[in-house]
Amino acid sequence: MKPIETVAIVGAGNMGSGIAQKTAQEEFPVQMVDREQQWVDRGQNTIAKLLGEAVERRIFSENQVEEILARVTGVVGVENVAADTDLVIEAVFEDFDVKTAVFNTLDEACGEETILASNTSSLSVNALAEATARPDRFVGLHFFYHPAKNRLVEVIPSELSSEETIARVEQYCKMLGKVVIVCKDRPGFVVNRFFVPWLNEACLLLEEGVGTTAQIDAVACAAFDIGMGPFALMNLTGPPIALHSTNYLAEQLETPRYTGAKSLQDLVESGVMWEIDDETECNEDAAKIIAERLLGQVFAVSAQIVAEEICSMEDVDRGAKVGLRWMNGPFEIMNALGLEEAHRMASSYAELAEFDLPPFFAMKAESGHDWEFNFVDVVQTDGVATVRLNRPEAMNALNETLVTQLGAVLDDLNSDSSVKTIVLEGAGKAFVAGADVKFFVDKIRANSFPDIYDFTATGHDVLNKLENSPKTTVALTTGLALGGGLELALACDYRVGTRRSQFRFPETNIGIYPGLGGTQRTVRICGVEAARWAVLAGNFVDSKTAHALGILTHLVEPAEVTATVQSIDTSGKPANKYTGQPRNPEHPVSAFASAFYSDGNMAGLLTGSCPDGFDAEDRNVGRQLKSLSRTAPIALRMASELLDSAVETGDNLEAGLALELANLEDIFGTSDALEGLSALIEGRRPTYTNG
């Protein structure tokens, strides 16, 4: 499959310039197109202003901003889009006739292989596709505002979109670091289907006099555990957008309940925003009505989305958490409230809206069981099984459910004679960003260490299913792989990365040590000195350094990932997975680690001393000493001892892994472990007491 490499965005307004900015940030050359030079200039100025703010916040350096801006080429006139562009995304007004006129011009200007996409929040993708000369190379996209910051995108294939088109566009979106929901072409798609009526329902509650804007917002924030209520959100995005969207859904879904409330219509006609005062308190009865009406509406519509097979319930929740930044998705909230109670609320709303709830909702409520979520997806093609860890809203962090599900999938694949190669990948921008830290904090505070041990031991078992698999195992670490995620990747035979790959063991900085094989496999892959550099100081490892150390076995361009996996599938398992030395000993990090983290220097380093022959004022040396000084002392010592044990146990990996498990109670029993893990959740720097 040929990846998307060149992109054009038609429309230089807020959405178009935002999509162009994000595309350029991820190192794609991008054309930003509009009718007149003044609009192109405005779009480029918008990008430059936002990137300037990012420099002030130290997100980007000035050099990085210059490189990003250099990738954006202004183009005047749709007819002047480069003919060989891989993907053109239209981002003009939400008007069917305007959009189809753009596509008619693009059909003439672009080559046969160019994929066309429409950024739309409401229009029928099937109808738009039929208005082009290439419906098989057409998809809908719904980027969420602001597209350079919001991580969600809905990909909406038309009925005629080819599988290759869908796959290429989905891959492009993933390369932007987006969380992708592929959904059916139905009015509102996924998020707006439940979110827009939610806004309108708040307006109806206001009309009925149940509460004021401030009271309804406050109750909504409490009921959904969110930061902004419906009226504040409408003020942020614009009430006219809410009115247009809800009227569109009312018409398309033939649901009069969604017709824009008179209070909303009057507000839009007057051209003002909602007035929201500071009086948020309301009586208990009113608060109950507000909460149950808003919750019931979301529950009922979410069930409809799943019943209509627009997407899975996991994706509904994902859309809420990533696109709307809710703490929990609709189905997770239902589980927390109890399905019987959730069904009661949904039934009450469905009666108001005059539609029937899907039968499966009542059946599940009567069963007494919660909704069950699946976070591991498998696609099998020509002997290659691709296992996607699909929890991108949490950067695929390893929790009990994901680990258990992954273990079950690996059991099935390891025993499947039709599978030759197993490929692990993560949905979204991360491969796996470590383990679920909140789990550890909760268990420590509850004095439930056996739960921590069982979780970690289960993790060892799952990683051993990769380690000892009769299949060739590959980790596509094309994004972030941190802590437990890096340990998961190291259990595989091969690790394929791109320039976007980044690795780190953060454990000693948060009061613990890598407990899923990180102290053992790292030594066996790249040698004890390089492992000390990576594990003890918690250094970030970029893709080139990771390749030099052997953490990455393959460093390729994004366009070469698929071909690399095919090549690995052909060649099979490696002759020697554990070489015990850096792939490139001459690399600056390899050479520095060999000298600085030598056996003779370790006693001093563990007590904060600069080794003989090194200058503490040297930038690299000073950085290492500073990093070591910020670790938890007990975690640093125990991690160092475990790294040494990897050398002592040699070829007996099983013995080394057993030592990691044997020391778990000692490390998690320290006050520093609770302090470090808690500080990570709370976003503060920990204070260690060596206790």
- Say which CATH number the domain at 120 has: 3.40.50.720
Across the range 11-23, mean pLDDT stands at 97
Q: Is the pLDDT of residue 532 over 90?
A: yes
Q: Residues 195, 178: one domain?
A: no
Residue that is last in its domain, among 318, 335, 367: 367
| Domain span holding position 605 | 376-682
pLDDT at 313: 96
Q: DSSP label at 57?
A: T
For residue 401, is it within any domain? Answer: yes
- The reply to whether 60 falls in a domain is yes
CA distance 479 to 498: 8
- Note whether 439 and 328 are same-domain residues: no
pLDDT tens digits, one per residue of 624-656: 999 999 999 999 999 999 999 999 999 999 999
Q: In angstroms, how far apart are the furthest CA atoms of the chain?
A: 80
**Among residues 159, 182, 205, which one ends one of the domains?**
182
Residues 125 and 159 occupy one common structural domain: yes
Query: Is 687 among the domain residues?
Result: no
Length of the chain: 691
Beta strand 30-34 with 115-119 is unpaired
The reply to whether 192 belongs to the active site is: yes
For residues 54 and 137, membership in a common domain is answered with yes
Residue 1 scores a pLDDT above 80: no
Q: How far apart are CA 172 and CA 178, in angstroms?
A: 9
- Cis omega before residue 146 (within 30°)? yes
* Residue 110: both structure tokens together: 């672009």
Query: Catalytic pick from 154, 487, 529, 660?
Result: 154
Q: Which helix (H) or strand (E) holds 386?
A: strand 384-389
Hey, what are 224's tokens?
């959904």
pLDDT tens for each residue of 276-285: 999 999 999 9
Residue 42, classed as helix, strand or coil, is: helix
CATH no. for residue 318?
Answer: 1.10.1040.50
Q: Is the CB of residue 639 less than 8 Å from the CB of residue 520?
A: no
Q: Which structure tokens are listed for 167?
A: 């796959």
Q: Is the pLDDT of residue 157 over 90?
A: yes
The Cα–Cα gap between 276 and 282 comes to: 14
Q: Residue 46's pLDDT band (boundaries 50, 70, 90)?
A: very high
Average pLDDT over residues 461-487: 97
Whether 466 is covered by a domain: the verdict is yes
User: pLDDT of 352-397, one tens digit each?
Assistant: 999 999 999 999 999 999 999 999 999 999 999 999 999 998 999 9
Q: Distance between CA 378 and CA 386 in Å, rounded?
A: 6
Q: Give the end of a domain, one of 182, 200, 224.
A: 182
**72 and 122 fall within a common domain:** yes
- The verdict on 257 and 406 lying in the same domain is no
Residue 109, in any domain of the structure: yes
DSSP for residue 609 = P
pLDDT for the residue 573: 97
Whether residue 147 is found in the same domain as residue 219? no
Over 90: is that where the pLDDT of 559 sits?
no
Selected catalytic residue, list 126, 192, 312, 509: 192
CB atoms within 10 A of CB 430: 24
Which of 396, 492, 388 minimizes the C-alpha distance to 436?
A: 396
Q: Is the pLDDT of residue 3 over 90?
A: no
> Could you tell me if 560 and 426 lie in one domain?
yes
Q: Give the whole-number percent of the chain exceeding pLDDT 70.
A: 100
Handedness of CA 525, 526, 531, 535 (dihedral sign): negative
User: What single DSSP character describes residue 373?
Assistant: -
- In eight-state DSSP terms, residue 585 is T
Does residue 579 share a domain with residue 675? yes
Rounded to two decimals, what is the model's pTM?
A: 0.89
690 found inside a domain: no
The label of the residue with tokens 């566009």 reads 169
CATH number at residue 669: 3.90.226.10
How many domains is the chain built from? 3
Q: Quote the CA–CA distance of 180 and 137 in Å, as a whole number.
A: 19
User: Two tokens at 463?
Assistant: 């990683």
- On average, the pLDDT of the chain sits at 96
Residue 691 clears pLDDT 90, i.e. is over it: no
In a domain, 545, yes or no: yes
Orientation angle between helical segments 339-353 and 330-337, nearest 10 degrees:
120
pLDDT grade for 24, boundaries at 50, 70 and 90: very high
388-442 confidence digits (pLDDT tens): 999 998 999 999 999 999 999 999 999 999 999 999 999 988 999 999 999 999 9
Same domain, 474 and 500: yes
348 and 260 share one domain: yes
- Give the neighbor-by-neighbor strand order of the sheet with 541-542: 430-433, 480-482, 502-504, 541-542
Instruction: List Cβ neighbours of 410 (8 Å cut-off, separation of 6 or more).
Output: 387, 422, 462, 465, 466, 469
- Asked whether residue 2 is domain-assigned, the answer is no
Mean pLDDT within 310-326: 96
Residue 449 reports pLDDT greater than 90: yes
At 2, the pLDDT band (50, 70, 90 cuts) reads confident
Among candidate residues 26, 118, 126, 142, the one labeled active-site is 142
Question: In one letter, which amino acid is 31?
Answer: Q
Lowest mean pLDDT among 77-81, 238-242, 406-410: 238-242
| Residue keyed to tokens 């390729």 | 556
Asked whether residue 178 falls in the same domain as residue 197, the answer is: no
Q: Which of 17, 118, 119, 121 is catalytic?
A: 121
Residue 121 annotated in active site:
yes
